[in-house]
């Protein structure tokens, strides 16, 4: 059975061009870029070439890019750098729907005495701007807000937010791990101070990421040791993966607008068909400001995990909003923050697409899903009753 992979916000396959780019640095060119000899030292050129490509994708200068090991490290490093750079300020602002890479780091800093404000979101998953404005004070050192949400795809208006933070002299970090390579990002038009990205979300391998730091922004390294990355991130460079990230960014930039159209077409086809074919189905998130590859759909009166298991039998990979932690089904913190009703929160499924998905794969989901939902609702007391009343009201 072929795998149908609709879980690209979790991770992506390595693009063939990207794999080709990295292989020589795993096979023959294994030197250390810090070495004096040519065999190692020549690798510097490759790292700088990759830095240029990453910078180009987001409209930055190459010197503003620091290679890291992942999106999580970039997020932690950005917030920690702000804290170390402005030790007299003790207030951090973020949102309730951030990825754990930001949320749990903020909780960690709260245990160390920082004050953290978690801004609520609207029922469509949009940042509550009034609450954001109210939260800022003299003590605020950084605002960290995601560019696009990993569960719903909702895009925050970072460009608008940056303007009023600049006036107040507050740093803005954006976790753009889900956005880079999926939607256009131009740092020159959106002057955030720091921005995180991650290789494995855009067809580069796992274990490589980058942090953009605007020229002139105070920066304290998070990982301390050697002089690599101009003293901003120690550790022998992961040359193969850095080369891969550069290539992945180049590919994403070349095909961005075409891919956005393609993905939106496939995503909308799934969404429209499932809304029509499966009653009591809700799209979660602001449908006017969303990543083109993501849909988060709640099938009321069913468990997301049960849907995933049934999809898995057809080789279809998706993901649910719930996390099965310590034996209890915790609904997603994102959907909870949006106030998704109890009947829908447990039955949410995220389909996240990539350039490698095909229309035939979309058709397969559309073919199998209605029967799965109908069958699972038979097992749920609420679902069964609901299906009965729905069919009675039709008659």
Furthest CA-CA distance within the chain: 82
- Can you state the angle between helices 304-313 and 359-379, rounded to 10 degrees? 130
Residue 113 zone, left/alpha/beta (φ > 0; ψ -120 to 50; rest): left
321 contributes a contact to ligand PLP by CB under 6 A: no
DSSP 79-145: HHHHHHH-TT--EEEEETT--HHHHHHHHHHHHTT-EEEEE-B-TTS-B-HHHHHHH--TTEEEEEE
CA 57 to chain centre: 16
Q: How many residues bind ligand PLP (CB under 6 A)?
A: 14
Nearest 5°: CA angle at 100, between 323 and 129? 110
E strand or H helix that includes residue 174: strand 171-175
Least distance between ligand PLP and beta carbon 77 (Å): 12
| C-beta of 72 vs 238, nearer to ligand PLP | 72
Least distance between ligand PLP and beta carbon 155 (Å): 12
**Site for ligand PLP (CB under 6 A): which residue of 7, 64, 175, 303?**
175
Least distance between ligand PLP and beta carbon 315 (Å): 23
174 contributes a contact to ligand PLP by CB under 6 A: no
Length of the chain: 395
| Whether 209 contacts 74, CB under 8 Å | yes
Least distance between ligand PLP and beta carbon 36 (Å): 33
Contacting ligand PLP within 238-277 (CB under 6 A) = none
293 contributes a contact to ligand PLP by CB under 6 A: no
From residue 57 to residue 76, what is the string marking binding to ligand PLP with x (rule CB under 6 A)?
-------------xxx--x-
CA 59 – CA 184 distance, rounded (Å): 10
Contacting ligand PLP within 83-122 (CB under 6 A) = 99, 101
78 contributes a contact to ligand PLP by CB under 6 A: no
Burial class (CB in 10 A: 0-12, 13-18, 19+), 286: buried
Where do we find the tokens 């004070």?
137
| C-beta of 177 vs 187, nearer to ligand PLP | 177
| C-beta of 165 vs 177, nearer to ligand PLP | 177
146 contributes a contact to ligand PLP by CB under 6 A: yes
From residue 200 to residue 239, what is the string marking binding to ligand PLP with x (rule CB under 6 A)?
x--------x------------------------------
Least distance between ligand PLP and beta carbon 83 (Å): 19
| C-beta of 301 vs 351, nearer to ligand PLP | 351
**Site for ligand PLP (CB under 6 A): which residue of 144, 152, 178, 320?**
178
CA-based radius of gyration for the chain: 22
Least distance between ligand PLP and beta carbon 190 (Å): 17
Residue 289's nearest CA partner among 122, 119, 157 is 157
Q: State the residue number with the nearest CB to ligand PLP.
A: 71
Choosing from 249, 278, 317, 324, the catalytic residue is: 324
Least distance between ligand PLP and beta carbon 368 (Å): 26
What is residue 14's three-state secondary structure? coil
- Does the annotation count 249 as an active-site position? no
- The residues with which 316 forms a beta bridge, in sequence order, are 4
The residues of the shown chain that bind ligand PLP, judged by CB under 6 A, are 70-72, 75, 99, 101, 146, 150, 175, 177-178, 198, 200, 209
Residues annotated as part of the active site: 324
């Amino acid at each position: 059975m072929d795998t149908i992979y609709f879980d690209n916000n979790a991770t992506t396959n390595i693009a063939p061009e990207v794999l080709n780019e990295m292989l020589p640095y795993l096979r023959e060119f294994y030197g250390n870029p810090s070495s004096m000899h040519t065999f190692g030292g020549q690798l510097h050129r490759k790292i700088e070439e990759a830095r240029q490509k990453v910078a180009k994708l987001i409209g930055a200068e190459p010197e503003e890019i620091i290679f890291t090991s992942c999106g999580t490290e970039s997020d932690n490093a950005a917030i920690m750098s702000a804290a170390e750079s402005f030790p007299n300020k003790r207030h951090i602002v973020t949102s309730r729907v951030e990825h754990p890479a930001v949320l749990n780091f903020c909780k960690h800093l709260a245990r160390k005495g920082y004050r953290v404000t978690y801004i609520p979101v609207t029922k469509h998953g949009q940042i509550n701007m009034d609450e954001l404005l109210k939260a800022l004070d003299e003590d605020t050192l950084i605002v960290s807000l995601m560019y696009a949400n990993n569960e719903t795809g909702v895009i925050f208006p970072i460009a608008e937010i940056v303007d009023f933070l600049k006036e107040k002299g507050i740093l803005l970090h954006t976790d753009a791990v889900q956005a880079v390579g999926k939607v256009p990002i131009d740092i020159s038009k959106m002057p955030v101070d720091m921005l995180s990205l991650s290789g494995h979300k855009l067809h580069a391998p796992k274990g490589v990421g980058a942090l953009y730091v605007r020229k002139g922004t105070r920066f304290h390294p998070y990982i301390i040791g050697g002089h690599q990355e101009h003293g901003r991130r120690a550790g022998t460079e992961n040359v193969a993966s850095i080369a891969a990230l550069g290539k992945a960014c180049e590919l994403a930039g070349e095909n961005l607008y075409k891919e956005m159209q393609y993905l939106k077409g496939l995503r909308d086809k799934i969404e429209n068909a499932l809304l029509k074919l499966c009653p009591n189905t809700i799209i979660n998130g602001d449908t006017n400001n969303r990543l083109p590859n993501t849909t988060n759909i709640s099938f009321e009166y069913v468990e997301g995990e049960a849907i995933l298991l049934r999809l898995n039998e057809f080789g279809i990979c998706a993901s649910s909003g719930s996390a099965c932690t310590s034996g209890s089904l915790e609904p997603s913190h994102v959907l909870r923050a949006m106030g998704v009703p109890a009947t829908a929160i447990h039955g949410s499924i995220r389909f996240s697409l990539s350039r490698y998905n095909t229309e035939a794969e979309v058709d397969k989901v559309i073919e199998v899903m209605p029967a799965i939902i109908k069958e699972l609702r038979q097992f749920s007391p609420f679902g069964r009753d609901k299906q009965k009343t729905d069919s009675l009201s039709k008659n």
